[in-house]
Structure 1
Amino acid sequence: MLGQCNTNNPAVVMWVKEMAELCQPDRVYWCDGSLAEKEFLTEEAVKQGVLVKLNQEKLPGCYYHRSNPNDVARVEQCTYICTDTQDEAGPTNNWAPPKEMKEKLVSLARDSMRGRTMYVVPYLMGPPGSSLSKVGVELSDSIYVALNMRIMTRMGQVAYDHLGAREDFNRGLHCMLDVNPERRYICHFPRENLIISVGSAYGGNVLLGKKCLALRIGSYLGRQEGWMAEHMLILGVESPTGETTYVAAAFPSACGKTNFAMMIPPAHFKGWKIWTIGDDIAWMKPGADGRLYAINPEAGYFGVAPGTNYKSNPNAMRTIARDTIYTNVGLTPDLDVWWEGKDGESPAQCLDWQGKAWTPASKEKAAHPNSRFTAPMQNNPALSPAVDDPHWVPISAFIFGGRRATTMPLVFQAFDWIHGVFVGATVGSEMTAAAVGGVGQVRRDPMAMLPFCGYNMGDYFRHWLRMRKRLKYPPLIFHVNWFRKDAAGHFLWPGFGENMRVLKWIIDRCRGRANAHETPLGWVPSPADIDLGGLPEVSQEQLEKALTIDAEEWRRELLLQEELFVKLYAYLPKELIFQRELLMARL
């Protein structure tokens, strides 16, 4: 029978009982992840007005949700790492003493679910049978969370099967309260493997398996246990001869991460295929053969809708055409969805993400800039056959990147692992909205992990450096920049599927087949080393500009890096300080 207790694990049963006594829900519903349950919960969500059933002819199995206008994104200022000492959390995280913060959260959670249902969501992060897959149990009073977790994780009996009689599962409590920003806390207790989130209903704050467990708690556990939890996509590149090479890549937001993970090679690369393992998170560990192996712990995609279209990401458009939950996009009169940057003409009228009437003449956007789709990975036409392999896939390259109009060349390769860690640690991306601090201002986001590292960033860099000692064949490390512009403000590189040309050079470097020349930054290809066949709009001269290294711009770049280095100076490994001095000397 749906909703009944479905586990004999005493630790799970006891914890649910304790939290139910604290939160006082009217009912406790135990999720099992079945198709029957999905249909039941979806119908309930529609009855409650949490979901709107979309046009099933256009979007079969798809539904629509609006969040509270004050609750539309991750809230870094309300996100805490609760470790015994502030040094353990580090200067880039918000810290709170565990005892005091837990007392505050317990008082907020007490009786908070009266009149509501508590959903018990058991989930598995990672493929069944994998030695590194982790079990979580999230307790939430949001039916939206239960339905989204079913998409984003392997939810249900598979989690209990993996856990067995053990007690080492992540405990997650989510209470919506009244969705008041003044009472919004997303708190991580790494030593207890515990997450408590209150006062929010937005995905990134409440789908606790995602950023909270997979990255913040995951990175902490990885450091303790000798593996890595990274904010990285994983893709496989298959050549016409059947040779497959896997790479992992970390880009800050608005830098084309999901597009890269689902890329379709241009026609010139006939016979080449890109296989998606994951678009957001990678868990990696050294293998017995001395290589680094990776899995995607997730089972779905929680992607940004605006800008997604058949030019930027055709595979994403096919993925979200069915069985998808859309959040905070525009809603057309015929119950279709729309967002800025979607294919075709904008609708003559629709309801915007707040439910207000919208026309093309409206000043506000129809879709919130951070509006989302939640879609199962099985929908992806390019989903890798290795995605459920419990033995993981071997990583040959790491690729870091950011959005930079100047300074950064199209691609370069780090000299070695330690230099590569320095390259990743100094990743910067230009802000794209004046309201966020000024267009063109560079924000540092080391390894794209700054908001997601569950401990001190200095110790995080040290963990990267130590991992080298456990690898006989470490991945090569590269940096890319698809966004460089010329003096007139035009992009020098077309991006999207054409990025395959740069990726092909990277793969060939990993396989010992491609040329490069030494520069102060690292190894850089000559224009002749990048295959421009079938791309007449990019000349050799234009490519040369995209690959240029300007010493004066780089001297300014070193000054820009100063802010991060000063903030972390007391914790920085000496190797990174030496790398910066070596770069100064080379320039």
Structure 2
Amino acid sequence: MEDVNVPFVEVHYITIQQVGNVPITKGDFQSLPHQVQTWLAQMIQLCAPRAVYICDGSEEEAEMVTNKLVERGTLTKLTKYENSYICWTDPRDVARVESKTFIVTNNKYASIPHSREGVKCVLGQWMSPSDMKQELDDRLPGCMAGRMLYVIPFSMGPIGSPLSKIGVQITDSNYVLLSMRIMTRVSSEIWKHLRHNEEFVKCLHSTGVPRPHTQKIINNWPCNPEKILICHFPDIRKVISYGSGYGGNSLLGKKCFALRIAGRIAYDEGWLAEHMLIMSITNPKGEEKFIAAAFPSACGKTNLAMLTPTMPGYTVRCIGDDIAWMRFDKQTGELRAINPETGFFGVAPGTNMKTNPNAILTCLKNSIFTNVGETADGGFYWEGLENETPPGTEIISWTGERYKLGEDKTKKSSHPNARFCCPARQCPIIHDRWEDPAGVPISAIIFGGRRPEGVPLVIESFDWKHGIFLASQLKSETTAAAEHTGKQIMHDPFAMRPFVGYNFGHYIQHWLDFEKDPKNKLPKIFHVNWFRLDENKKFLWPGFGDNIRVLDWIVRRTNGEDIAEISSVGLIPKKDSINLQGLIVDWDKLMSVPKDYWKDDIEETLSWLDGQLGDDLPHDIRIQIEQQKQRISQIN
């Protein structure tokens, strides 16, 4: 597919000072790699900004942009902390917009599976190139009029690592520039690497509010909610986002590049781009193992990545809390993982010194908080910090409402999807190898979700194919990170339902295919469920730091310890094989596999997977489903 609807622009007449009649206020256009010059010239002609600013990622640059946003009122300094700021968005721009997120390819079924007739596909949305061109023609011409166009060179992963990829984002939001500096490696060094590598991911973002404004700007937050569109062109490695300034809608290095586009690159090149944390666990003997784990939003992924163990002698170190890029080493066969990001973009409500002390300690400086409350003395506040904030403290909510803590329980300080954005290097337990360009070796992969009934605390897969099946049938209660409302159990295979940039059936087959290479040392695969409830709707498992007890069992299984027994749904812990010292736990309820529940569950799983994927559902998964049906039928 050709580049987006812009005539080719000859660049020979461009001076260092301007592109056409658009001035360059910072940076040297002519020193950029040729392929960047060509694309940038096209985008300048299309978006018609008042000027162009080529970013270098420096502290001086960040200070200048921050001061400008404070003067404008977009950011407010949190005086209790060093170099930290709060931002309140337009209330219409607060979450991911899956319904307006598209994959664009010539072949529809390269993007989405052959869903059964009458079934609405929720595993990605496709739009044809011609239809998308119409949509973009309606939005992009002149979309940055009166605004600065920022050019952000960034690396996902350590700069120069063979596991890393380069992107260039164009944006008219300097809030996005500040956030991208935290979440990715923004540096002029990128240009040197691009001279030896033609490929980079093109990322174009506009808030969709050219000047002069024709609409009221709320909270100094430009956005165009009625026209939001986020589109991915995996064949040409491009993302275009319009209308939203929020989170992954605008920080295009995050889900758009790091999962949807990188996932397609990984498919083409033979590796994995996954919605996974990476952590290490060191036991009292000094043995360290690295684990990757995938959970849907609000299932405790960041909490697990920064776990504070309750068992003495255990140490946890964090490599990443959200995304893992993983490749099997051609020499050793080990699965090696990097965290392509440099920051944490975590859900704030519910995060506190009990649930995740390391996250709190990480964001006490150099951080941006979005849609949280502010205390009258210049601190951050959100639901979950009640026990750490004195009653009577005056709170200013994200909607500007003032109230005193404890006086009115109906008041909410923060949006449920409010975020903290902070540098990973500040995490007290960041691993000293978190930026190792060779990555870290993965011994176990964990999948999990919020399952209030029926699902045991931990299941180990029988083998690689069964593990892929466990990931394919992953389900969880819905969260505030997406547009859904109300608590319902939703399918979220691999915790990747909104994030796969190509046919989901091909994605599952891609996982299965790694077994074909005998050199690959396949990690063990597990499923965990911290959220099972008893008949009184109380959690059966304490969670948080006590999850180390389950991780310890998992690590011991990777060492081949005989501490598992066969159940109809996988291998589960033998009684007393998990250290429960100091806990009161109903083991039988926690580990039970109710026949009726699982009988209904496997039928529903088959119906859903078959409806969504149709003939693209890999044959190996259909076999796994039939085998599980047989095992469940044999439960007494």
TM-score w.r.t. structure 1 length?
A: 0.95
The change in CA–CA distance for 1:285 and 1:527 in structure 2 (over 3 A counts) is same
Question: Which one of the candidate residues 539, 556, 570 is aligned to 1:491?
Answer: 539
2:325 corresponds to which of 242, 261, 283: 283
Partner SS, residue 502 of structure 2: coil
Q: What is the Cα deviation at residue 291 of structure 1?
A: 1.8
Query: Counterparts of 1:472-551 in structure 2 under 5 Å?
Result: 472-533=520-581, 535=582, 537-539=583-585, 542-551=586-595
Which residue number in structure 1 is paired with residue 26 of structure 2?
3
Contact map agreement 1:12 1:167 (CA 8 A) in 2:
no
132, 143, 150: which one pairs with 1:119? 150
- Conserved? CA contact 1:128–1:388, under 8 Å: no
Check whether the contact 1:409–1:549 (CA below 8 A) recurs between aligned residues. yes
Superposition deviation, residue 482 in structure 1: 0.4
Which residue matches 2:510?
A: 463
Residues in 2 aligned to 1:152 and 1:16: alpha-carbon distance in whole angstroms: 23
The 5 A counterparts of 1:219-368 are 219-266=263-310, 268-270=311-313, 272-287=314-329, 288-342=331-385, 343-345=388-390, 348-359=393-404, 360-361=407-408, 363-368=410-415
Say if 1:493 and 1:543, in contact at 8 Å, map to a contact too: no
Q: Which amino acid aligns with 2:469?
A: F
| 2:60 maps to which of 26, 33, 36 | 36
Correspondent of 1:134 among 165, 174, 183: 165
User: What is the alpha-carbon distance in structure 1 between the residues aligned to residue 370 and residue 401 of structure 2?
Assistant: 15
Contact 1:152 1:301 in 2 (8 A): yes
C-alpha separation in 2, matches of 1:61 and 1:438: 37
3-state DSSP class of the match of 2:92? coil
Give the AA of the match of 1:538: I
Q: Distance in 1 between matches of 2:301 and 2:432?
A: 21
- Of 609, 613, 624 in structure 2, the residue corresponding to residue 579 of structure 1 is 624
- Taking the TM superposition and a 5 Å limit, the aligned residue runs for 1:367-516 are 367-431=414-478, 436=484, 438-439=486-487, 441-470=488-517, 471-516=519-564
Aligned partners of 1:472, 1:94: CA distance in 2, in Å?
A: 33
Counterpart for residue 612 of structure 2: 567
> Given that residues 376 and 393 in structure 2 are in contact (C-alpha distance below 8 angstroms), is that contact kept between their aligned partners in structure 1?
no
What is the aligned partner in structure 2 of residue 210 from structure 1?
254
Cα shift at 1:559: 2.7
Correspondence for 1:174: 205
Output the CA distance in 1 between the equivalents of 2:534 and 2:49: 59
Closer, same or farther in 2 for the Cα pair 1:24/1:346, shift >3 Å?
farther
1:122–1:156 Cα contact (<8 Å) kept: yes
1:514 deviation in Å?
4.5
Assess if the C-alpha contact under 8 Å between 1:444 and 1:564 holds in 2: no
CA RMSD of aligned residues (A): 1.7
Hey, what does 1:93 align to over in structure 2? 124
Q: Deviations over 1:312-357 (max 9, x none)?
A: 0010000011110000001222221110001334654322112233
Change beyond 3 A, Cα 1:347–1:194: farther
Counting matched residue pairs gives 577
Q: Distance in 2 between matches of 1:281 and 1:466?
A: 21
| Match in the other structure for 2:38 | 14
Letter in 1 for 2:96: R
Aligned residue in 2 for 1:48: 72
Q: Deviations over 1:480-514 (max 9, x none)?
A: 00011112222111000000000000001001234
Counterpart amino acid of residue 92 in structure 2: N
Residue-by-residue CA offset, 1:164-220 (whole Å, 9 max, x unaligned): 343201111111013222211000000111110001110110000000000000111
- Could you tell me whether the CA contact under 8 Å between 1:505 and 1:514 is conserved in 2? no
8 Å CA contact retained: 2:609, 2:617: no
Contact 1:425 1:447 in 2 (8 A): yes
- TM superposition score normalised by structure 2: 0.88
Query: Is residue 332–residue 347 contact of structure 1 (8 Å, CA) maintained in 2?
Result: no
Listed as ranges, the gaps of 5+ residues in structure 2 are 1-23, 113-120, 210-222
In 2, the alpha carbon distance for the partners of 1:176 and 1:356 equals: 26
